[in-house]
Chain A
Amino acid sequence: MGNKEHTILRTVCFHCGEDLPALRYQLDDKEFCCAGCKGVYKILSENNLCNYYAYNDNPGQRFNSDSRLEYLDEESIINQLIDYRQGSSSIITFYVPAIHCSSCIWLLEHLYKINPAIFSSRIDFLKRQVTINFNHDEISLRQLVQILIQIGYEPLISLQDVVKENKNADSKALIIKIAVAGFLMGNVMLFSFPEYFGLSGLEQQFQELFGWLNLAFAIPATFYCGRDYFLSAITSLKHKHINLDTPLALIIAVLFFRTAFEVIFKAGPGFADTLTGLVFLLLMGKWLRQRTYHHISFDRDYRSYFPIAVTTLANGKEKPVAINDVKIGDRLWIRNGELVPADAILMKGNACMDMSFVTGESEPVHKVLGEIIYAGGRQTGEAIELEVIKPVSQSYLTGLWNNENYHADRSKQNFNDSVAKYFSLAVFIIAFASAGYWGFAGNTHKAWSAFTAVIIVACPCVLALSTPFTLSAILSVFDKKGFYIKNTDAVEELAKCDTLIFDKTGTLTSSDSAKTTFKGSLSSAEKVLVSSLMRNSTHPMSRHILSELNADRFYTVADFVEIPGKGLHGTVNGLSIYAGNLSLLPSHLRRVEGNGVHIVIDNKYLGSFSVEQQWRPGLKELISTFDNKFKLQVLSGDTDKDEKTLRAIFPAAATIAFKQSPHQKLSVVLAHQQQKLHVMMLGDGLNDAGALKQSNFGVAITDNINNFTPGCDAIMKGSALNLLPAFIQLSRDGLTIIKISFAIAIAYNLIGIYFAVQGTLYPLVAAVLMPLSTITIICFTTLATGFFAHKRKLK
């Protein structure tokens, strides 16, 4: 009863909404968590842009940028980046990962208020792109990027921006085809109506006109809109196998010729309505299958990770050079935090490589002079000089991507194509049988009409539609849960998986929630001393420790020295403080062991900070649901320090391997596939890119979906990992739904065939039967998908 309840007011940063540390930055009665956020607010308020905060609470994002932008002054690089240039204005498109809400749109479209040399800027929100039109005589590209960085929207300028691949043209051509097909269908339906309702004697003159008009409309429907089906059928027949497009092409052809025949010889109204309707629906199905979700970009590969330029040394002078122009023998100057773009030999300096990009190993590796440093390593520490021994495109990493394994045709036979064979066969048997029957009865006219009618009515159109409808409904369910699949074909692959391979770092552990722990003890006064020292450093470790200690006051630090890759030391209140790894400590204190940041104050060793990755929550339950159903395996590029923990999580049957190189991971996947297993690989990025790409279903797990993602079939938010069993289950349900809808289609076809074999199929029956069956199927797949999504608790 005597418990007093305290309401604790937790205030958050005005700009980014993060919790405020004990020491705050204040401006205009508003509180900020760091100098960066305060800086952005200051710029916005000076330019009268505080509306930014009106549309959303705390719209900002915390950032710290230390990008070097000298390369943006190089004419050759500017020309590669700029979309268009005329007179004094240039247009450029940036990819800005930080775009996430309507405030971002508002601010980035008001750039002209910050600098009048910017004429206009427009955002494509889903693609996270901003297109800026600016006056390049008054503002350089580098200044423009600097403005964006100042307001917290650093563009990601990578090799991807230079090596563009245009994938948009295909989908545009399809949309144009759909528009044409819809136009043709509408008009043909209009001219077929009189035929449906019957014409009086007066209107006989029109019957012929409508017939000819319909035929005229059928020509573009067949030869323009339906062209792809013919092409696909021809290529598949060349390869001696039948896909779903083969019977479709056949039906389109038969429909067209019979329509032409009937119109020219005045034998009947023809099937132009069925033909145009069929083509339109087929193209719609194709569009659904192609439609991907724009907020995820699957075409970002290693190029988006590589910088666009690198600093070279020529005659002792630094010069930024575009990556593509780096030649063998060039001297590269790699600073702290920069990436080595090509395999090179260390010539000068103290290399301390973070190879996590390649191996997943987070501890930096020391390299000695003359040693080869592979592309993809990140230098931590002082700047080093390297000599290139392989051009960028032949390097180790790109080799992973362009491994010839991928060019081997995995001949993905989806359900549709495998059914198409039997379907076509059955249709032909029935068609020939009925034609033969009427032929023997001496009625050649009936034989011909029965033959064509069977082929027309036994259309696998429904089959071609049920798959995209079902699978795209499943895709949108997954999409809402943070599981983004590349396309509908991949869903079928997911359903077939029987082997799960996990990478450890970033997949089973979460890269976001690293925990800083201190072994030893610090008094509160000592905490303030350590924080004061750490505050002067921008190293991520220092930041982690600083937020962990959360001191409320700082002292000034004298003689501050930061030795990159090693640590810091300085003097605070007359006490000398060391923080860093062992090599930095005074020699008589080097009896301690271990990695991490060791703290020494006034020649007294106090302990060490270490950052440990956290396992994702619910991991054990997740793995136990897979037990007995899947073959499980863990492949980690890391050392075996977590073996005990992993053994406790995984069942005894699972194999766990450490220190796996990317190529080893790839060969493990290949070995499984040779045993006819369907492999699903879950990894986090580059060091398993090869394995992800080779596996039947590769999932890149990431805690930030804007990050770089390798070539994979799906991207999953780390938080959605626990739903994986439900995802697999739903994809299997999807295949069941497709099979049921196939049965429904067969039932409809049997009704049609009943009329067709008698040679009495009237065009009206065909014209009604097709849309009716299509509508039934679409309703059924939508309802059934919804039902299963509920059942698997995904809705």
Chain B
Amino acid sequence: MNILYFLICCSMLVALIFLAAFFWASKTGQHDDVYTPGVRILFDDDPQSEKSEEDHFSS
């Protein structure tokens, strides 16, 4: 049963890591704007401009 001591330490450590991660996220402003990134991710990349015609003709 002494293994429980070790396990308790492990669980506390993991929980603390998560807490620290939350602090870091909060500090770097990840919770400041929770709306815009959701819109931003829906934007398409720009369509490639149509230069292909000219490229095929070697002048």
Contact = CB atoms under 8 A, between A and B. Distances in A.
Contact of A109 (B11, B35, B40, B44): B40
Contact of B19 (A51, A180, A202, A203): A180
Interface stretch (A120-128, A341-349, A488-496, A787-795): A120-128
Interface in A48-105: 48, 51, 55, 102, 105
Q: Give the residue among B4, B8, B16, B23 with the most A Cβ atoms within 10 A.
A: B8
B23 A127 contact: no
Contacts of B23: 176, 179
A51 B44 contact: yes
A778 to B, nearest CB: 23
Interface in B8-41: 8, 11-12, 15-16, 18-19, 22-23, 26, 31-33, 35-36, 39-40
B49 A183 contact: no
B35 A126 contact: yes
B35 A175 contact: no
B1 A179 contact: no
B46 A48 contact: yes
Nearest to B23: A176
A788 to B, nearest CB: 29
Interface string A149-173: 0000000000000000000100010
Q: Secondary structure of the B side of the interface?
A: helix
Nearest to A122: B36
Contacts of B18: 183
Interface residues of A, number: 28
B12 to A, nearest CB: 7
Contacts of A213: 8
Interface of A: 48, 51, 55, 102, 105-106, 109, 122-127, 168, 172, 175-176, 179-180, 183, 186-187, 190, 202-203, 206, 209, 213
B35 A187 contact: no
A123 B18 CA distance: 29
Contacts of B31: 175
Contact of B46 (A51, A102, A202): A51
Given A175-B26, A183-B15, A203 B1 contact: yes
B36 A179 contact: no
A206 B4 contact: yes
10 contacts: A48-B49, A51-B44, A102-B39, A102-B42, A105-B40, A123-B36, A168-B32, A180-B19, A186-B15, A206-B4
Contacts of B5: 209
A682 B41 CA distance: 41
Given A124-B36, A209-B5, 15 more contacts: A102-B43, A105-B39, A106-B43, A125-B33, A125-B36, A126-B35, A127-B33, A168-B32, A175-B31, A176-B23, A176-B26, A179-B19, A202-B1, A206-B1, A213-B8
Nearest to A110: B46
A97 B59 CA distance: 51
A124 B19 contact: no
B33 A124 contact: yes
A179 B22 contact: yes
Nearest to B39: A102
Contact of A172 (B4, B8, B26): B26
Contacts of B15: 183, 186-187
Contacts of A55: 43
A179 B49 contact: no
